[in-house]
């Protein structure tokens, strides 16, 4: 319930733009210093998931900070 309420604070329209840009960052940074395409893609998928989940968690954290910590 708590997590659902927190996630509700994050604007969906803002979140929708996050995965594509994270995918671009993950792909290009994973390609650096790698030559094998399969290795690049495997690392990029992992990096993409970490990026999206990490930023989403921080969005929730910041929303929580603004909604409950600051007003209190």
Residues near another protein, by CB under 8 A: 17, 20-21, 23-25, 27-29, 31-37, 39-40, 42-43, 50-51, 54-55, 58, 61-62, 65-66
CA–CA–CA angle 63, 65, 66 (5° rounding) = 65
The helix/strand/coil state of 47 is helix
Q: Nearer Cβ to another protein, position 2 or 32? A: 32
Q: Nearer Cβ to another protein, position 1 or 37? A: 37
Q: What is the nearest approach in angstroms of another protein to the Cβ of residue 29? A: 6
Alpha carbon distance 52, 23 (integer Å): 9
């Amino acid at each position: 319930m708590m997590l659902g309420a927190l996630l509700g604070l994050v604007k969906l329209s803002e979140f929708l733009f996050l995965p594509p840009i994270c995918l671009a960052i993950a792909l290009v940074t994973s390609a650096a210093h790698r030559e094998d395409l399969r290795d690049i893609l495997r690392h990029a998928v992992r990096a993409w998931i970490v990026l999206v989940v990490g930023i989403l968690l921080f969005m929730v954290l910041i929303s929580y900070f603004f909604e409950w910590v600051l007003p209190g």
